[in-house]
Amino acid sequence: MQINGIQIDDTFAEAFNMRGTRVIITAQNHKWAYHAANAMTGFATSVIGCGVEAGIEREMTADETPDGRPGVSILMFAMGSKVLMQQLETRMGQCILTCPTAAAFAGIISEDMISLGKHLRYFGDGFQTSKLIAGKRYWRIPVMDGEFLTEETTGMVRAIGGGNFLILATSQPAALAAAEAAIEAMKTLPNVIMPFPGGVVRSGSKVGSKYKTMFASTNDAFCPTLKGITNSELSPEIESVMEIVIDGLTFEDIAKSMKTGIEAICKLGAGSGVKRISAGNYGGKLGPHLFKLHDILKGSAA
Amino acid sequence: MSALTFTLKTALLHSINCSALTPDNLAGKSAAEIAAIELVKGRNQLLAGDIFDISGTDTQELCFRNATAKLDYIGAGMSTGSITIEGDAGAGLGYGMKHGNIHCKGNAAAFAACSMRGGLLTIGGNSGDFLGAGTEGSRKGMLGGTVIVKGNAGDRAGDQMRRGLILIEGNAGDYCASRMIAGTIGVLGKTGIYTAFNMHRGTLLLQHQPELHATICDCGTHTLPFLNLLFKSFRQYDTKFSSLDQNRVQRFAGDTACNGNGEILVLQPQA
């Protein structure tokens, strides 16, 4: 398949089941809401080393948030419910409780509600106050700037992580510019995050390593400097590869996001230096969800 | 279907316990069966049909007409449907109600919303003492639901209240929020003496500065973000509280006489 001179490989991205949650963070203004959200979603690029993958989903206006203040919604994903709960509590305590004027609210409702501020309340040392308002329980914890307000729980849902595609270009700047264009388009969509720095990852990995202690290592087949000495996937003109990884609440959300991103790149045309779009997979044996690039772009992925 | 209507035939000399006349109890009953419900037992037995003219068929929507303060326990324990009271209601209006809607257009006597667990009770006039309190011997008052009083409330409103919302548009009597355990009470009018006496937890939201006893402590004036949520939740109700939007309050805490952590929030002009 070719779009605007860019080749789309007949391959697929392989994704895994995850657990996800959404938290709405509000503050006095967007500046402080972003400070809180950036801290909470910091060091959350990959479950391999961070426990969770998290990112800002979108900015929210004051009339969209529960407490009528400016806010942002964040999504957080983990491989299991236990890790997600533990990471959420830790990050709430260190990043939201500590951030001036910030408050946190449930961004999703589910059968399995998990602790958002339920345990954090003990920071109040007996001065904490619970309020049940319109059927939802909130905690007010006295802090030095006034009161920290948090909802007691948020929802936890089944989600999918690891949707991805690779951008193969003739130069590093070309690959990065294309990745940036894709991210700008993908950021407008709900229910997905691209957890890596700026949404882009340059160190795509394969499963396993020659070293016993490593369970993931560099994806040598896509490393341009190894073209001559490894079983490379790259043609001679490719000098740089960037990957965009997507975590989302449903298969459809990720498929739509991948389609939007790839189409944004294809709009740039082959003249931009992008030659191919591919995807990372493990032969289809590890992840239950396969995002076939051709099907996604035809709009027939399911 | 029209509302099942109970029109009081004559003025009563003694109080009648109307707790049997709820949508739950009347569901599926024929007109004859409803008229045969025993409301007063003993030698001077009185049936519903003796006391009321009964018309209408919809057992989920009840109406009491010519109602007076002699009709006690209207809507007691109800968990579905709605009751409209055209006139006054006696003691124990909505006692232990779990769900549904009661609208009393006149005044309600003492112990309205007593031990209430859920639903909405609106009193168009005044309410008597012990609004939203507990029953005799109970250590917990109202356990949930919403009460709106358009007029004034008597003494001990919210006594030992455990959960829920009481909104009083007029004045409240003495000992408002006494022994309160949790929940929220709002008063737009004035409050009597010993407000928040032995208050443990919970929130008392006032429009006017109360006269407070020594063990309620001033914590200063603050802008509290949670009030935005509270005010937003008021907007679903037909009440003057739905127009509140200033989240700047003077906060008093106590009652320290019982190591209490309750709060009295007095609304202040926006800074």
pLDDT at A301: 63
* DSSP per-residue codes, A105-122: EE----SSEEESSTTGGG
| CA B244/CA A70 separation, integer angstroms | 20
| CA A220/CA A246 separation, integer angstroms | 21
Give the residue from A122, A154, A117 showing the smallest Cα distance to A139. A117
Asked if residues B222 and B251 have their Cβ atoms less than 8 Å apart, the reply is: yes
Bridge-based pairing of strands B71-72 and B16-17 is parallel
What mean pLDDT comes out for the span A17-35? 98
* Other residues' Cβ atoms within 10 Å of the Cβ of residue A42: 12
User: Which residues make Cβ contacts (< 8 Å) with residue A298, sequence separation at least 6?
Assistant: none
Predicted interface score ipTM higher than 0.85? yes
Asked if residues A26 and A66 have their Cβ atoms less than 8 Å apart, the reply is: yes
pLDDT at B136: 82
Taking the Cβ of residue B228 and every Cβ of chain A, the question of whether any pair is shorter than 8 Å is answered with yes
Taking the Cβ of residue B229 and every Cβ of chain A, the question of whether any pair is shorter than 8 Å is answered with yes
Residue A32 pLDDT exceeds 80: yes
Q: Is the peptide bond before A10 cis (omega within 30 degrees of 0)?
A: no
Residue A72 pLDDT exceeds 80: yes
**B74-78: long-range contacts, CB 8 A cutoff, minimum separation 24:** B74/B18, B74/B19, B74/B21, B74/B102, B74/B104, B75/B22, B75/B100, B75/B102, B75/B121, B76/B18, B76/B19, B76/B22, B77/B19, B77/B22, B77/B24, B78/B22, B78/B23, B78/B24, B78/B102, B78/B119
Which residue of chain A comes nearest to B118, CA vs CA?
Answer: A135
The two structure tokens encoding residue B28 = 């599926």
Specify the domain boundaries for CATH 3.30.70.520 within chain A: 2-14+159-298, 19-157
Binary contact (A66, B222; C-beta < 8 A): no
What mean pLDDT comes out for the span A204-227? 92
Helix, strand, or coil here: A190? Answer: coil
How would residue A159 be classed by pLDDT, with cut points 50, 70 and 90? very high
| Residue carrying the six token digits 């490393």 | A223
Asked if residues A166 and A241 have their Cβ atoms less than 8 Å apart, the reply is: yes
Q: What is the mean pLDDT of chain B?
A: 95
CATH fold of A19-157, please? Alpha-Beta Plaits (3.30.70)
Residue B271 pLDDT exceeds 70: no
Report which DSSP code applies to B59: E
What mean pLDDT comes out for the span B17-32? 95
Taking the Cβ of residue B203 and every Cβ of chain A, the question of whether any pair is shorter than 8 Å is answered with yes
Residue B149 pLDDT exceeds 90: yes
Residue B31 pLDDT exceeds 90: yes
How would residue A227 be classed by pLDDT, with cut points 50, 70 and 90? very high
pLDDT at B246: 87
Report which DSSP code applies to B89: B
Write out pLDDT tens, residues A85-127.
Answer: 999 999 999 999 999 999 999 999 999 899 999 999 999 999 9
Task: Give domain A2-14+159-298's CATH number out of 1.20.1050.10, 3.40.190.10, 3.30.70.520, 3.90.79.10.
Answer: 3.30.70.520
| CA B150/CA B236 separation, integer angstroms | 16
- Dmax of chain A from CA atoms? 67
- Please give the model's pTM, rounded to 2 decimal places: 0.92
* Other residues' Cβ atoms within 10 Å of the Cβ of residue A172: 15
Write out pLDDT tens, residues B151-207.
Answer: 999 999 999 999 999 999 999 999 999 999 999 999 999 999 999 999 999 999 999
How would residue A287 be classed by pLDDT, with cut points 50, 70 and 90? confident
pLDDT at A302: 54
| Chain B residues touching A127 at Cβ < 8 A | 261
Give the residue from B251, B207, B213 showing the smallest Cα distance to A127. B251
End-to-end CA distance of chain B: 53
| Chain A residues touching B236 at Cβ < 8 A | 134
Which residue of chain B comes nearest to A26, CA vs CA?
Answer: B225
| CA B39/CA B46 separation, integer angstroms | 6
pLDDT at A153: 97
Which residue of chain B comes nearest to A101, CA vs CA?
Answer: B225
Q: Which of B32-41, B119-128, B159-168, B232-241 has the lowest mean pLDDT?
A: B32-41
Residue B86 pLDDT exceeds 60: yes
How would residue A285 be classed by pLDDT, with cut points 50, 70 and 90? confident
| Residue carrying the six token digits 């006597």 | B109
What is the share, in percent, of chain B residues with pLDDT greater than 70?
Answer: 100
Distance from CA of B228 to the nearest CA of A (A): 5
Residue A297 pLDDT exceeds 80: yes
The two structure tokens encoding residue A29 = 């203004």
pLDDT at A207: 85
Q: Which of A164-178, B36-50, B82-96, B172-186 has the lowest mean pLDDT?
A: B36-50
Write out pLDDT tens, residues A250-280.
Answer: 999 999 999 999 999 999 999 999 999 999 8
